[in-house]
Amino acid sequence: MNVYDGQRIAAMLLQRGYAATEKIADADIIILNTCAVRAKATDKVFSALGRVRRAKKTDALFGIVGCVAREAGAAAFKRIPDLNFVLGPQSYHKLPDILENPDTKLLNIDLGGLEKFDELPESSTSPAVAYIPIQEGCDHCCTYCIVPYTRGREISRPFENVMHDVRHAAATGALEICFLGQNVNGYKYSDNTGKAFRLSDLIRETAKLDAIKRIRFTSSYPTEMTDDLIEMFRTEQKLLPFLNMPIQSGSPDVLTRMNRPYSLDLYIDIVDKLKAARPDIQISSDFIVGFPGETDADFEKTVQIAKQIRHINSYSFKYSPRPHTAAALMPNQIPENVKASRLAALDGELNEIQREFNEACVGETMACLCEGADKTGKKLVYRTPYMQQCIVDAPENGNAPQMADIRITAANKASLRGEFCDQN
């Protein structure tokens, strides 16, 4: 989501005659686009702000956008007095106001909903992977999560607006579309005739575009994995056989306290249905360890479910108490050292599962998308349909195909090695 927001801000500045610079000391405007999901991310923002403050030109405009801006609000100006603007994740389209009135301080952390999508210019080129938000906010109210506070209630963008963005991306260079939403599979939109649209409609419509070779979406909430969407994995071959569907914990008690009211059986049932639709599908998850009251037995259940589902490409986090959340006030907060050792244990298992999956890919041929070259320029980095990195020797003639069939020749826990299929 932040990558997308950052691209929209950059496009707006480019259109106004700004150019990118690598050096803070050269910049006329410096914007930190921030994430507040864990305390560590927020802390990093304030230490980065301190660094920028010392390195920037005195008259450079300087501010923060995104969730930390919304979380800190006016207090951000108290902490860093020379900040010029503090704009929440739904008000960064107000940035031109500060360009026009650089001597003022601009604070806007309103939840304006979808305005930002309509007010900023479109980029004239798309990266190969186009991230397209289809929804803002989240109505799930997991007790640990600050997102419902920072990004507000869930609102789905109009179907036609999303499809406009998809077609624009396809026409300007995108090969892969990644639909984004905090609760992406909860996408629901009714037009003024009452016709209802779901994520499955967006996928079906996008798959018709010749330029688009791969489609994916993230992140999915387990109970919103409806049959029409599962069916897409059977009928739309452009939809990648890979799904991020966070389970967060394998303990029913912890899930209840997280306010994630689904059973492990339901989760397993959905995975089974997905596998029936697309036998080669792989599932990824997010996990939180050390949630308030989590016992050793609860934690063990998380490890067990990861081993049972064999989650690949997963993310695991120590629980981080956040302002404006119910879990921060719960009793039995877990000490940092216990969280750290549980995280290390879970990561050990997840790495092992990933290594095993990577090794099972050796000998397979996969349609991969080029992400670019490594530092030497001699190796190319591709993404497999399962989001693994695959390193390939660059062709001597310097032509790197953007999409290529690649035979996987070797694997370790972090990445794959491969060769183009037409080389013997």
The binding site for ligand 5AD (CB under 6 A) comprises 37-38, 144-145, 246, 248, 286, 288, 317, 319-320, 322
Taking the CB of residue 19, how many other CB atoms lie within 10 A of it? 8
Q: Is 217 in the site for ligand SF4 (CB under 6 A)?
A: no
| CA angle (238 as vertex; 222, 164 as ends), nearest 5 | 85
- DSSP reduced 3-state for 306: helix
Site string for ligand SF4, 351-390 (x = CB under 6 A): ----------------------------------------
Among 94, 116, 140, 278, binds ligand SF4 (CB under 6 A): 140
Among 12, 31, 45, 147, binds ligand SF4 (CB under 6 A): 147
Minimum Å gap between C-beta 16 and ligand 5AD is: 33
- Partner that binds at residue 89, options ligand 5AD, ligand SF4, none, CB closer than 5 to 8 Å by kind: none
Q: Is 221 in the site for ligand SF4 (CB under 6 A)?
A: yes
344, 337 Cβ separation under 8 angstroms: no
**Of 97-105, 143-151, 297-305, 408-416: span binding ligand SF4 (CB under 6 A):** 143-151
Measured CA to CA, the distance from residue 384 to residue 398 in angstroms comes to: 21
- Considering only residues 227 to 256 of the shown chain, the ones binding ligand SF4 according to CB under 6 A are none
Q: Which residues pair with 408 in a beta bridge?
A: 418
CB closer to ligand SF4 out of 138 and 281: 138
CB closer to ligand 5AD out of 145 and 163: 145
- Partner that binds at residue 86, options ligand SF4, ligand 5AD, none, CB closer than 5 to 8 Å by kind: none
CB contact set of 22 (below 8 Å; sequence gap of 6+): none
Q: Is 142 in the site for ligand SF4 (CB under 6 A)?
A: yes
Helices 264-277, 296-309: axis angle to 10 degrees equals 10
Minimum Å gap between C-beta 50 and ligand 5AD is: 24
Measured CA to CA, the distance from residue 328 to residue 395 in angstroms comes to: 53
Minimum Å gap between C-beta 273 and ligand SF4 is: 20
**Of 133-141, 334-342, 347-355, 413-421: span binding ligand SF4 (CB under 6 A):** 133-141
386, 367 Cβ separation under 8 angstroms: no
| CA angle (40 as vertex; 182, 223 as ends), nearest 5 | 25
Amino acid identity, position 339? K
- Partner that binds at residue 141, options ligand 5AD, ligand SF4, none, CB closer than 5 to 8 Å by kind: ligand SF4
**Of 141-149, 229-237, 299-307, 311-319: span binding ligand SF4 (CB under 6 A):** 141-149
- Partner that binds at residue 288, options ligand SF4, ligand 5AD, none, CB closer than 5 to 8 Å by kind: ligand 5AD
- Considering only residues 291 to 310 of the shown chain, the ones binding ligand SF4 according to CB under 6 A are none
Amino acid identity, position 300? E
- DSSP reduced 3-state for 418: strand
Q: Which residues pair with 286 in a beta bridge?
A: 315
Amino acid identity, position 80? I
DSSP state of 331: S
Scored b (16 or more CB within 10 A) or e, 243-260 reads: bbbbbbbbbeebbebbeb
Measured CA to CA, the distance from residue 272 to residue 255 in angstroms comes to: 21
**Residue entry with tokens 């599908």:** 281
DSSP state of 323: T
**Number of residues forming the site for ligand SF4 (CB under 6 A):** 10
CB closer to ligand SF4 out of 80 and 147: 147
Amino acid identity, position 32? L
Residue closest to ligand 5AD when measured from CB atoms: 286
CB closer to ligand 5AD out of 109 and 145: 145
Q: Is 183 in the site for ligand SF4 (CB under 6 A)?
A: yes
Q: Is 182 in the site for ligand SF4 (CB under 6 A)?
A: yes
CB closer to ligand 5AD out of 201 and 298: 298
179, 217 Cβ separation under 8 angstroms: yes
Interface contacts to ligand SF4, rule CB under 6 A: 138, 140-142, 145, 147-148, 182-183, 221
